[in-house]
Amino acid sequence: MQPRRRLTTFGRILPASLLAAGMAMLALPHPVRAADPDQAPAVASIVPTVTISPAIRSTVQERVPVSGTLVARSEVQVYPQVSGYEINELLVEVGDSVTAGQPLARLTDTTLRAELTQADAELARARAAIGQAESEIASADAAAAQAGSSLDRTRRLNRSGNTTQAVLDEAIAAQASAAAAAASAQGGLAVAQAGLAQAEAARGIAQLNFERATITSPANGIITERNATRGALSGAAAEPMFRLIVDGEVEMEGEVLETALSGLQAGDPVTLSVTGVGPVEGRVRLIPASVDPVTRLGVVRVALAGDGRLRPGLFANGWIVLDEREAVTVPATAVLADGDGERVQVVRDNRIETRMVRAGVLWDDRREIAEGLAQGEPVLLRAGAFFRDGDPVNPVAEGAAPSAPQKPAPAPMAEAPAPQGAAGPAKAAPAPAPAPAVEDAARKAATSGTTLEASTARPDPQGTVR
């Protein structure tokens, strides 16, 4: 029995007819080869397309960040000025606007009213004592005058011999006693006047305590806290009965980096974003005189524009504007910065020119260029370290649609060399017919059931299967 023949190629089983055709093609005496590389068209070098943006003059702001909490500019704590009296009535709630002297709460004033009545009675008695002392003074003065007249008469009679020395001595004693009584009456008036002053002071205290039974607002403002409750005793708690913001003025207590404090000035504009409220404008009111040694932050006070929605305790953050000016600016992405400084990549005559600049503040996604760049010069929108001086580029203005890149023309198909002495273009030689021996082998394999399998071998550079 004739052994089975295994013809293999490219790793898979193929029909006998296809295998025979392939082997016939490999047997061509002159395979078709590519054209000479020297005759291939040259491919133009690729020039990258870049987006450019001109340097323009625009407004920039120099600013520093600030964050903090809203607080009352001036807060007042209201305490009861009389202790031990029951709180009988509360007249305001938290959030109410009050005016100076407006009642906030009332205490039970029964005892205080009685004390005021008692003080009024003492004052009336002191005033009566003054009248009595004045009457005693008048009586003593009259007695002293009478005693003086009697003494004068007695002395004249004694000189004429019509009265005795004993009578004269009695007149002298009577006159001295009347003078002493007048002086005593004057002293009684002083005591009565002192009593009157004391009674008036006691009455004033009683009146003041009675008035303090009604607790009033010391200033115009807004009630922010109420700790008092009905039935409690005044003065029993350490906390104030009420807290209020004077004139309702709320400001921000913000923290600023120590490196930015030297540039701050009172009156600098501030733009804040307050939680739950939104943007709020303000101005620096107080600059910190010291810096926290732990956090390295200084605390500034920012006066805010009047807004009824502002409440102490709200969080706010924003910017303090130190300066606002016109300057040459470029997109922030156009500036490269490293240890050597800042630079931009200018496009001049479609070539890259790297230029050192002195960059300033960053504002609204644009960077200020203080030195090194003139207005109108085009720079790369996105500067890249892979560009070098002199590199050619195809610039496209920012926002403009880039032109479609030109594609190189396809290379011509390879043609067979023309026979010597023939005119006109060379034509590929026609494929020869399959060899008879190969056809017989394929036909016998198909009729006898022989399987044609692929081999792991591949064609060598000459196109021969092994």
Segment 196-254, tens digit of pLDDT: 888 999 999 999 999 999 999 999 999 989 998 898 888 877 889 999 999 889 999 99
Reported as a pLDDT band with limits 50, 70 and 90, residue 52 is very high
Query: What does the block give as tokens for 146?
Result: 């009478």
CA distance 346 to 52: 9
Tell me what the mean pLDDT of segment 454-464 comes to: 36
Tell me what the mean pLDDT of segment 403-414 comes to: 45
Answer whether 405's CB lies under 8 Å from 396's CB. no
The DSSP result for 401-456, as a single string, is: PPPPPPPPPPPPPP-PPPPTT--SS--PPPPPPPPHHHHHHHHHHHHHT------S
- Per-chain mean pLDDT for the chain: 77
430 vs 186: which has the higher pLDDT: 186
CA distance 77 to 317: 28
Tell me what the mean pLDDT of segment 347-355 comes to: 92
pLDDT at 147: 78
CA distance 188 to 182: 10
CA distance 393 to 46: 9
Tell me what the mean pLDDT of segment 352-365 comes to: 91
What is the chain's percent helix, strand, coil content, to nearest 5? Answer: 30, 30, 40
* Residue of 178, 192, 216 lying closest to 80 (CA atoms): 216
What is the Cα 233 distance to its own chain's centre? 44
CA atoms within 13 A on the CB side of 142: 6
CA distance 301 to 65: 14
Tell me what the mean pLDDT of segment 333-355 comes to: 91
Reported as a pLDDT band with limits 50, 70 and 90, residue 462 is very low
Would the pTM of this model clear 0.85, i.e. be above it?
Answer: no
- The DSSP bridge pattern shows strands 394-397 and 341-348 to be unpaired
CA distance 305 to 380: 43
Residue 318 predicted with pLDDT over 60: yes
CA distance 49 to 387: 12
pLDDT at 402: 55
CA distance 184 to 166: 27
Q: Looking at the DSSP assignment, which residues form a beta bridge with residue 320?
A: 64, 270
Query: What does the block give as tokens for 379?
Result: 């720079």
Helix, strand, or coil (residue 137): helix
How many CB atoms within 10 Å of residue 308? Answer: 9
pLDDT at 452: 33
pLDDT at 179: 78
Span 269-306, pLDDT tens digits: 999 999 999 999 999 999 998 999 999 999 999 999 87
pLDDT at 45: 65
CA distance 450 to 443: 10
